[in-house]
Amino acid sequence: MNSNSRVFSMNSYIVDAHIHLSDPDYDSSYLDYMLNYSKFTGTKLFSVSTGLHSSKRTLKLSHSNENIFAFVGIHPMSVLNENYESLETLARTSTSNFVGIGEIGLDISYAKNKSEYDLQLNVFRKQLDLAETLNKPVSIHSRNSLPAVLEILQQYNLPNVLLHWFSGNEQEINYVMDRGYFVSFGPSTVYSKKSQNISSHVNRDLLLIETDGPVRYSACFQRNITLPSLLPSVIFVLSNVHQIDFDEMCNIISENSFKYIGHKL
C-alpha cells in the first residue's frame, strides 16, 4: 500500500491551507475535477480571496461544497482597484459563512511609489482590525515585506495567523515560532533545498501545507497548473525532512489545520 492510499483510510485529512479556487485560471473543468477529487479523497480546501468579486465567488463555492472553507479579503496586489468598505460590509453580513480573512498582507513589489505602499499598509491594518473584531484567523502574504508584516502583527490580538509560502531566515523563523504563527509550504518544497531547510526549523505543531494554486511551479512540475493532488508529495518531503512517518506527518498537518481555523473539519 503506498503513502497516498494509506492516508485516506485514516481519521485525518489532507488540507490545502491556501488555494485560490475563485481564480479565473481554474475554469469549470478544473473546478469540477477538484471538487470531485476533494469529495473522493476527503481533501479539505481553504480557499482564499483577492478582492470583493473573488470573495463573493469563494463564498458561493464554499456554500455548495462542505470541503471548501472560505476566506475573504483584499490581496496587496489588488488594493488600487478595490474598495475596502465594500469588503467589510460583505464580511460583517456574512461572518458565519467564512472561516478567515485572507489573502491579505504587504508586498512592496506591487507598489510603484510610497503612496501606493501606504495604501497597502492602510488596507492591511483595516483588515487586521476586522479579523480581530470578528475573531477570525488570517492568511498573510508577506513576500518582500516580512519584517514590516511581523512588526504590524504584534499590535493585534488575532486567534491565529498563517504566514503562507514562508521564506524567512532562521532568525525570523525563531520569532515566528515564539509568536505561535503557523507557516505553510507548498510544491516548491519538493525540489527546493532552501525551502526544505527552512521547513526543518519549523515546529511541527505550527506546520501547514498549501498549493497556492493556480500558481505554476517549475522543475519537476513543468509549470502545469497546480492542483491539490500535489499535496501528498509535499507531505512526503516534509516527513523526510522531519524524519517521521508519512502518516504521522499527515495527522500533524490535519490537526494543525483544525487548530488554525478553529473549526471542525
Paired residues of 71 in beta bridges: 100
d(CA 79, CA 86): 12
Domain CATH for 181 = 3.20.20.140
**Structure letter (DSSP) for residue 223:** T
**pLDDT computed for residue 3 by the predictor:** 39
Say if 154 falls within a structural domain.
Answer: yes
pTM of the predicted model as reported, rounded to 2 decimal places: 0.94
SS3 content of the chain, % helix, strand, coil (to 5): 55, 15, 35
Q: Which domain holds residue 60?
A: 13-261
Q: Report if residue 96 sits inside a domain.
A: yes
Over the stretch 89-142, which tens digit does the pLDDT of each residue have? 999 999 999 999 999 999 999 999 999 999 999 999 999 999 999 999 999 999
Tens digits of residue pLDDT in 59-81: 999 998 999 999 999 999 999 99
- Residue 1 in any domain: the answer is no
Cell numbers given for 92:
460583517
Residues 6+ apart with CB under 8 A from 251: 10, 12
Low-confidence ranges of the chain (pLDDT < 50): 1-10
- Residue 138 maps to a domain: yes
What is the structure's pLDDT at 4?
42
In a domain, 8, yes or no: no
Residues ≥6 apart with Cβ < 8 Å to 55: 22, 49, 70, 72, 73, 87, 90, 91
Q: Is residue 28 part of a domain?
A: yes
pLDDT of residue 265: 66
Q: How many CB atoms lie within 10 A of CB 121?
A: 17
In a domain, 65, yes or no: yes
pLDDT at residue 11, rounded to an integer: 61
Flag whether 2 is in a domain.
no
Give the closest residue to 240 by CA, choosing from 199, 181, 207, 210.
Answer: 199
Structural domain count, the chain = 1
